[in-house]
Structure 1
Amino acid sequence: MIGTIRSLIFASVWIASVASAHAAETQTQAPRPSVLFKEKTTLLSRIEPGETFYPVSFQVSSDNAHVAYAGRRAEGMFAAMDRHRGPFCEGVAKGTPLFSRGEFHWAYIAYEGNQKAQAFIDGRPEMKCDGIDAFVFSPDGTRWAYRAALQKKQALVASGVAGPLFDVVIPAGPVFGPHGRMAYGAVNGQEKFMVVDGRPEPVGGIVQGIVFSPDGRRLAYAVKTRDHTSVTCDGQNGPAYQAVVQLTFSPDSKRLAYMAQKDNRWVAVIDGKEQEGGDQVGMPLFSPDSLRCAYAIRTGGKWHVVADGIRGPACEELGVYLFSLDSSRLAYMAQNKQRGCVVVNGQPQATYDSVGIPVFSPDGAQLAFQARLKDRWFIVQDGRAHAQAYDNVRLPVFSPDGRHLAYIGIDGNKMVMVLDEHPLGSYDSVTFPCFSPSGTHVAYAGCRQDRWRIFVDGQGGAAVFDASLKESTILFGGDSNLSVVMLRMPGPEFWRLEVAVSAGALPPSGSAPQK
Structure 2
Amino acid sequence: MSEYSAWDWGIGSRTVADLSECDCDVEWREENQASPDGEKVAAVVKTGEGEFSVCVNNTCWEPRYERIWYLRYSPDGRLAGLACDGDWTLCVDGEPWEETYGFLFNTLFSKDGSVIACCVADSMTYGMVLEGVAWETLFPNANNFILSSDGKRSAAVVQTVPLGQADVFKFKDGAYSVAVDGTPWNVNFVNVWTPRFNADNSSVAAQIRHTLFDYTIAVDGKPWAENFNQVWEPLFHPAKNSVAAPVRLAGKWGMALDGKIIWQPSFFQVWQQQFSPSGDKLAAIVCPKYGRWTLAVDGTPWNTTFGDMVMDMTFSPDGKRLAALGKQDGKWTVFSDDKAWNSNYDMCYAPVFSPDSNHVAVRVEKKGRFTIAVDGKEYGQGFDQCFDPTFSPDGSRILIRAIVDGKYQRIVESVAKIIG
- TM-score by length of structure 1 reads 0.58
> For residue 353 of structure 2, what is the amino acid of its counterpart?
F
Aligned to 2:310: 356
1:132 to 67, 90, 102: 102
**Match for residue 368 of structure 1?**
323
Give the whole-Å Cα distance in 2 for the aligned partners of 1:366 and 1:444: 23
1:499 positional shift: 5.0
Partner of 1:325: 277
User: Are the equivalent residues in 2 in contact too, given 1:105–1:141 (CA < 8 A)?
Assistant: no
Q: 1:311 to 1:424 in 2, by over 3 A?
A: same
Report the secondary structure of 1:173's partner residue: strand
Equivalent residues of 1:76, 1:88 under 8 A apart = no
Q: Distance in 2 between matches of 1:137 and 1:303?
A: 32
Matched residue SS, 1:171:
strand
Is the counterpart of residue 78 in structure 1 residue 48 in structure 2? Answer: no
Shift of 1:284: 0.9
Partner residue, 2:7: none
- How far 1:252 sits from its partner (Å)? 1.8
Matched AA of 2:274: L
Q: Which residue of 2 aligns with 1:341?
A: 294
Residue 306 of structure 1 corresponds to 256
* Counterpart in the other structure of 1:479: none
1:280-295 aligned within 5 A: 280-295=230-245
Change (3 A) 1:340 1:124: closer
1:133–1:147 CA contact under 8 A, matched in 2? yes
Q: CA deviation at 1:440?
A: 0.6
Per the alignment, do residues 247 and 406 of structure 1 end up closer, same or farther by CA in structure 2, a change over 3 Å counting?
closer
C-alpha distance in structure 1 between counterparts of 2:177 and 2:191, whole Å: 8
Change in Cα spacing, 1:418 to 1:351, as seen in structure 2 (3 Å) is: closer
| Alpha-carbon offset, residue 344 of structure 1 | 0.9
- Is 2:83 aligned against 1:109? yes
State the match for 2:398 in structure 1. Answer: 442
- The change in CA–CA distance for 1:77 and 1:331 in structure 2 (over 3 A counts) is same
Equivalent position amino acid for 1:346 in 2: G
Amino acid in structure 1 at the alignment position of 2:292 = R
Distance 1:248 1:275, change over 3 A: farther
Partners in 2 of 1:310 and 1:356 — Cα distance? 24
Query: Matched residue of 2:52: which SS?
Result: strand
User: Equivalent residue for 1:69?
Assistant: 44
What is the CA distance between 1:71 and its match in structure 2?
0.4
Distance in 2 (CA, whole Å) between partners of 1:212 and 1:409 is 29
Q: Which residue of 2 aligns with 1:224?
A: 160
**What SS does the aligned partner of 1:356 have?**
strand
Structure 1 residues 270 and 422: alpha-carbon distance in aligned structure 2, compared to 1, 3 A threshold:
same
CA distance in 2 between counterparts of 1:417 and 1:217 reads 35
Match of 1:41 among 16, 28, 36: 16
CA distance in 1, matches of 2:368, 2:412: 32
1:417: how far off?
5.6
Deviation of 1:103 (Å): 8.3
Q: 1:182 to 1:62 in 2, by over 3 A?
A: farther
Of residues 191, 201, 212, the one that matches 1:243 is: 191
CA RMSD in angstroms comes to 4.7
**Measured at CA, do residues 345 and 439 of structure 1 come closer, stay the same or move farther in structure 2, by a change above 3 Å?**
same
The gaps in structure 2 that reach 5 residues or longer are 1-9, 163-169
Aligned to 1:482: none
Offset of 1:367 from its aligned partner?
Answer: 2.2
Greater mean alpha carbon deviation, residues 238-247 or residues 408-417: 408-417
Q: TM-score w.r.t. structure 2 length?
A: 0.69
After TM superposition, give the deviation of residue 53 of structure 1 in Å: 0.9
Q: Which letter does structure 2 place at the counterpart of 1:441? A: R
Counterpart of 1:20 in structure 2 is: none
Do the aligned partners of 1:62 and 1:101 also contact (CA within 8 Å) in 2? Answer: yes
What corresponds to 1:404 in structure 2?
359
Given that 2:399 and 2:410 are in contact with CA atoms closer than 8 Å, whether structure 1 keeps it comes out as no
Q: Distance in 2 between matches of 1:430 and 1:279?
A: 44
What does residue 25 of structure 1 align with?
A: none
SS of the aligned residue for 1:359 comes to strand
Structure with bigger RCO (C-alpha 8 Å, 6+ apart): 1
CA positional deviation for 1:305 = 3.1
Render the CA deviation track for 1:170-222: whole Å, top value 9, x for unaligned: 2333356xxx87525237xxxxxxxxxxxxxxxxx977767665556767665
Please give the per-residue CA displacement for 1:91-140, whole angstroms capped at 9, x wherever unaligned.
325x26666665846555344xxxx44758566788898x7311668755
The aligned counterpart of 2:217 is 268
Q: How far, CA to CA, are the matches of 1:59 and 1:294 in structure 2?
A: 35
Secondary structure at the counterpart of residue 127 of structure 2: coil
In 2, are the aligned partners of 1:59 and 1:69 still within 8 Å (CA)? no
Residue-pair matches, total: 382
CA–CA separation in structure 1 for the residues paired with 2:410 and 2:327: 38
Counting aligned pairs with the same residue, the percent is: 21
**Kept after mapping to 1: 8 A contact 2:118/2:128:** no
Q: Secondary structure at the match of 2:28?
A: strand
- Cα gap change, 1:171/1:371 in structure 2, threshold over 3 Å: closer, same or farther? closer
Looking at structure 2, the residues matched to 317 and 393 of structure 1 have their Cα atoms a distance apart, in angstroms, of 24
Q: Distance in 2 between matches of 1:173 and 1:286?
A: 23
Task: Report the equivalent of 1:192.
Answer: none
Alpha carbons 1:147, 1:169 under 8 Å: kept: no
C-alpha separation in 1, matches of 2:376 and 2:33: 35
SS of 1:278 mapped into structure 2 = coil
Q: Verify the 8 A CA contact 2:246 2:271 in the aligned structure 1.
A: no
Equivalent-residue separation in structure 2 for 1:407 and 1:343 (angstroms): 21
Larger radius of gyration: 1
Supply the AA of the counterpart residue of 1:337.
Answer: Y
